[in-house]
Every structure is written in C-alpha cells, then in structure tokens.
A and B are shown apart, each in its own frame.
Chain A
Amino acid sequence: EEQLVESGGVVVQPGGSLRLSCAASGFSVDYYTMHWVRQAPGKGLEWVSLLSWDGVTTRYAASVRGRFAISRDNSRNSLYLQMHSLTTEDTALYFCAKDKQQLLMEHYFDYWGQATLVTVSS
C-alpha cells in the first residue's frame, strides 16, 4: 500500500531554515512527480513545489520561489523540502503528495501524507 510520512516540522524563528522530509513506501518516488502542498491554520490548500518523476524539473509557487528547494533521495525513497528565510506567512501544515499517474506530468494527487507542522514564531 502506498504511504507517505512527513517529518521535520518544528517551531523556528523568523529568518530561520528548516528541512522537511517525506518518506515514501509502496511505490518509487522516481516513477512519480512529487509535490509539497501546505495549509495555513484554518485556511485552504496552497501548492508549494514539485519535482518531476525524472528529477529534471522543479517548480515553485511564487510565494516560496528563491527560498525553498525541493529534492529527493532515490536510495531512501524520500522527498525533501529545504526552507530558508522563513516568515510567519510560512506557518502551515506541510503535506507531501504524489501524482496519480506515473511517468506523466498530470499533477493531481491520489496519495497524501498526514502532514508535518511548521510554526514560524519568535
């Protein structure tokens, strides 16, 4: 069964950095485009970033471009999100999610993790 488990969320001060991890099981991350999606407390869903199945293409929401970097480790079957220059606006639950279709670039998501909470506060 496909599963995604996020970790790494903590309380961090404004201006700080953090790396989130997403461990995948039941499928290989190098066959699917993978994503980070966040949800601020009481708010809606915001797509954050993607890493294409072939590892070539990355995309970022304008709100995080230049501050966040997505990557993966095929040997650990894991996805990462490196976050820098954090602000209070980055406070959110961070979900990792996978495309339903493998080896394609149709970005809708059939499996999601349970999320990890990032709180940016002084």
Chain B
Amino acid sequence: DIQMTQSPSTLSAFVGDRVTITCRASQSISIWLAWYQQKLGKPPKLLMYKTSSLESGVPSRFSGSGSGTEFTLTISSLQPDDFATYYCQQYSTSSPAFGQGTKVEIQ
C-alpha cells in the first residue's frame, strides 16, 4: 500500500502569510493527488485534485504542484477562514490513502 506523509504536522502562521504544506508518497503516484480542508466538526472539503486542479468555488489563493512522490499545497496569503487541518490523498491505486494531516494555526 502507498503511504502518504505530510509535513509539518502543525504550522503556526499570521494572516497574510504565504504557507506551504508538503506531502510525500512512498512510491510514485504520478499526478493523482487531492487536497482537502477540514474544520472542526465538519466533513472534509475538496480543494484540489489531479495535483493542481482547483475545485469549483475554492479561492485562487490555493494552489498545488508536484508529481511523482513530492507535492505541495500553497496558500498565497493566509486568510482567517483558512485556519483548519489539511489532508493530502493519493488516488493512484484502487485503495486511496490520506496523509496524517497538517493543522494550520493562528500565530
């Protein structure tokens, strides 16, 4: 099974900061990666798929890049609504797998 590892686990930042979250796969997943945002008590929300395709309605300050085994999610200017936990998820195989999550906190 493919393992997904995110870093950092927790990130403290200010409103307006540029923020980058890294996701690494244990083997190549090509570009088959999605990102989700989850707020406390809510289901995850799809942000990005196929590494860099923005889901409808998601602000353009979110962007994704990478291929193979290393991927990043970048928030160009952190907004108050962005404080949440972010998960990457591979769908290269028939058994999807999530990273462990990155919590973005207010500094």
Would you call B68 an interface residue if the criterion is a C-beta within 8 Å of the partner chain's C-beta atoms? no
Instruction: Say whether A44 contacts B99, CB under 8 Å.
Output: yes
- Complexed CA–CA distance, A47 and B32 (Å): 16
Instruction: Say whether B46 contacts A61, CB under 8 Å.
Output: no
Instruction: Say whether A108 contacts B91, CB under 8 Å.
Output: yes
**Residue from B32, B44, B100 in contact with A106 in the complex, judged by beta carbons closer than 8 Å:** B32
Instruction: Say whether A45 contacts B87, CB under 8 Å.
Output: yes
Contact with B along A86-101 (1 / 0, CB 8 A): 0000000001010010
- Which residues from chain B contact A97 at a C-beta distance below 8 Å? 43
* Chain B nearest Cβ from A104, distance in angstroms: 11
Which size class do A's interface residues fall under?
20 to 34
**Residue from B1, B55, B89 in contact with A62 in the complex, judged by beta carbons closer than 8 Å:** B1
- Which residues from chain B contact A45 at a C-beta distance below 8 Å? 36, 38, 44, 87, 89, 98, 101
Q: List which A20-78 residues lie within 8 A (CB) of chain B.
A: 35, 44-47, 50, 57, 59, 61-62
**Which residues of chain B have a CB within 8 Å of any CB of chain A?**
1, 32, 34, 36, 38, 43-44, 46, 49, 55, 87, 89, 91, 94-101
**Which residues of chain A have a CB within 8 Å of any CB of chain B?**
35, 44-47, 50, 57, 59, 61-62, 95, 97, 100, 105-110, 112-115
| CB-CB nearest 8 A-B residue pairs | A112-B43, A108-B34, A45-B98, A107-B91, A44-B101, A47-B96, A107-B96, A44-B100
